[in-house]
């Protein structure tokens, strides 16, 4: 972009919106020029960041002279906002999940291709130094990944009620396990052949809602990852800290790490145990940095719309499996 800063507008100023706002304003090649929030109470904070406040996202897209929008609103709103932004000629970065349905995600991809615009996805594990190091080690000859087990646990999201509405969030599977499911697809380098899941409800205003889940991804036999397990829970008490873990078992070794928080990455092989610390910079900053560079360099972002669509399809297959108590074949699944 000829040395000029990329002008970014932010859609949504909730939990993730504030994280993106912080990283955009700290980026040397970006300006946060505007932000949409449905809450008037956010105006002062947005304006302190040097951005214009919009209470109507359609007005922001129509009037704001931005280069791109970062969408951090509820999942089920992503498609409408992304399509409107593409129609205006704006690049788009979407928080995960890409959308609530595969059809909506596919429409987003089609619009980005038609307009020739950049579409980035917020699958942050692909930008987290620890997970990147895990992938590098897991796919090396030293380990030769065959099985991955991931956990993700914490209390229900307390900042918005829509998370506990299946029609809007897709339950704990689409909103939370999607992180680990996307990572394992990336690690395998291909979609799973089969998906199966079991899930249990948690209280959610009297409506059944899957808040605990166990997803199994079967990638089939081959040289790489063959089997993946993703466990997730929103059933923890509010006093329980959000926590994740990952373990990779391979032909020649094992990798284990408890994340977040700069924990050592432990690799066990015939040569012994090696502990390293791969944390360097916030993954949320790295994903925005990559999106900005993709616009400036005219290249695709590292995580594409097709990656986002695969993650949504796989999670929805898992949700369907949990409901039907059946294994779902990914080939032909919508």
In a shared domain, residues 157 and 25: no
Cis previous bond, 198, omega within 30: no
Query: Is 177 in the same domain as 265?
Result: yes
283-297 and 15-25 helices cross at what angle (nearest 10)? 60
Residue 309 lies in a domain: no
Q: Residues 327, 201: contact at Cβ < 8 Å? A: no
The number of folded domains in the chain is 2
Domain match, 91 and 10 both = yes
For residue 275, what are the contacts with CB-CB under 8 A and spacing of at least 6? 264, 265, 266, 267
Domain-located, residue 230: yes
- Give the pLDDT of residue 278: 81
308: in domain = no
Question: Same structural domain for residues 33 and 47?
Answer: yes
Pair 163, 71 in one domain? no
Q: What is the DSSP string of 66-81?
A: -SEEEE-S-GGGHHHH
Task: Evaluate whether residue 334 is within a structural domain.
Answer: no
DSSP string covering 169-204, please? H-HHIIIIIHHHHHHHHHHHTS--SEEEEEEEE--S
| pLDDT value of position 3 | 62
Q: Within this chain, do residues 68 and 147 fall inside the same structural domain, yes or no?
A: no
1 inside domain: no
Query: Closest Cα partner for 21 from 84, 93, 89, 79?
Result: 93
The DSSP 8-state label assigned to residue 174 in this structure reads I
State the pLDDT at residue 1: 46
21 & 142 share domain: no
- Clarify whether residues 276 and 151 are in a common domain: yes
Question: Residue 187: inside a domain, yes or no?
Answer: yes
Kindly state whether residues 149 and 61 are assigned to the same domain: no
CATH number of the domain to which 251 belongs? 3.30.360.10
3-state secondary structure at position 92 = strand
Domain shared by 117 and 142, yes or no: no
pTM: 0.95
Ranges of residues in the chain with a pLDDT under 70 are 1-3, 205-206, 260-262
User: What's the pLDDT at 86?
Assistant: 98
Instruction: Specify whether 295 is located in the same domain as 227.
Output: no
Domain, as residue range, for 80: 6-124+284-302
For residues 161 and 200, membership in a common domain is answered with yes
What stretches of 73-169 adopt beta strand conformation (E)?
Answer: 91-95, 119-122, 145-153
CB contact at 8 A, 197 and 139: no
Q: Is residue 197 included in any domain, yes or no?
A: yes
Q: In this structure, what CATH number is given to the domain that contains residue 101?
A: 3.40.50.720
- End-to-end CA separation in angstroms for the chain: 38
Asked whether 24 and 8 are in contact (CB, 8 A), the reply is: yes
Torsion of CA 11, 13, 18, 20, to 10 degrees: -10
């Amino acid at each position: 972009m000829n040395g000029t800063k990329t002008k970014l507008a932010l859609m949504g100023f909730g939990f993730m919106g504030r994280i993106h706002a912080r990283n955009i304003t700290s980026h040397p090649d970006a300006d946060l020029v505007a932000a949409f929030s449905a809450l008037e109470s956010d105006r002062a904070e947005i304006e302190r960041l040097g951005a214009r406040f919009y209470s109507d996202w359609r007005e922001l897209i129509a009037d704001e002279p931005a280069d791109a929008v970062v969408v951090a609103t509820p999942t089920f709103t992503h498609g409408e906002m992304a399509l409107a932004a593409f129609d205006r000629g704006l690049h788009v970065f979407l928080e995960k999940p890409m959308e609530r349905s595969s059809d909506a995600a596919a429409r987003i991809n089609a619009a980005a291709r038609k307009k020739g615009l950049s579409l980035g996805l917020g699958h942050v594990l692909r930008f987290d130094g620890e997970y990147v190091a895990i992938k590098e080690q897991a796919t090396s000859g030293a380990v030769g990944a065959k099985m991955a087990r991931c956990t993700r646990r914490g209390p229900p999201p307390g900042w918005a009620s829509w998370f506990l509405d299946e029609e809007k969030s897709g339950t704990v599977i689409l909103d939370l396990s999607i992180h680990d499911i996307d990572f394992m697809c990336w690690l395998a380098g291909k979609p799973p052949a089969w998906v199966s899941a079991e899930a249990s409800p948690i209280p959610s205003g009297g409506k059944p809602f899957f808040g605990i889940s166990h997803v199994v991804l079967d990638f089939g036999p081959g040289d790489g990852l063959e089997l993946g397990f993703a466990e997730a829970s929103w059933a923890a008490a509010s006093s329980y800290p959000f926590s994740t873990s990952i373990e990779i078992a391979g032909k020649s070794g094992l990798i284990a790490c408890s994340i977040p928080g700069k924990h050592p990455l432990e690799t066990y092989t015939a040569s012994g145990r090696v502990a390293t610390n791969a944390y360097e910079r916030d993954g949320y900053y790295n994903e925005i940095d990559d999106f900005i560079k993709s616009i400036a360099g005219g290249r695709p972002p590292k995580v594409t719309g097709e990656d986002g669509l695969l993650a949504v399809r796989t999670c929805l297959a898992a949700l369907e499996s949990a409901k039907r108590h059946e294994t779902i074949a990914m080939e032909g699944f919508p």
